[in-house]
């Protein structure tokens, strides 16, 4: 019992859990921003094509 508690100890610590969570969202942030910039770049491409033509 004492050993098992020691193993689970750090995981149940809210501070450590929060740190783990913030690290796990970095990849999501990167992919969201990649998709966002892709959408903006293609949108601007079509917009300037429209403005440039008569």
Partner 1 sequence: MHMHKLEKIWLIFGLAALIVFLSTIGVSAFYLGNKPPSCLTTVDPEKVDQTAPFNKPGLHKVEGKDWDYELVFVAQAFAYTPTQVTVPLGAKVKVIATTKDVVHGLEVAGTNINMMLEPGYVSEYTTTFDKEGEYLIVCNEYCGTGHHLMSSKIEVKK
**Site for partner 1, rule CB under 8 A:** 21-22, 25-26, 28-29, 32-33, 36, 39-40, 43, 47, 50, 53-54
Residue closer to partner 1 by CB (options 3, 53) is 53
Residue closer to partner 1 by CB (options 1, 27) is 27
Q: H or E segment at 44?
A: helix 26-52
Residue closer to partner 1 by CB (options 6, 25) is 25
- Rounded to whole angstroms, the Cα distance separating 43 from 46 reads 5
- Rounded to whole angstroms, the Cα distance separating 10 from 46 reads 52
């Amino acid at each position: 019992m004492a050993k098992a508690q020691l193993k689970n100890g750090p995981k149940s610590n809210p501070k450590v859990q929060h740190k783990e969570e913030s690290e796990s969202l970095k990849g999501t942030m990167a992919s969201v921003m990649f998709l966002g910039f892709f959408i903006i770049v293609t949108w601007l491409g079509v917009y300037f094509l429209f403005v440039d033509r008569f």
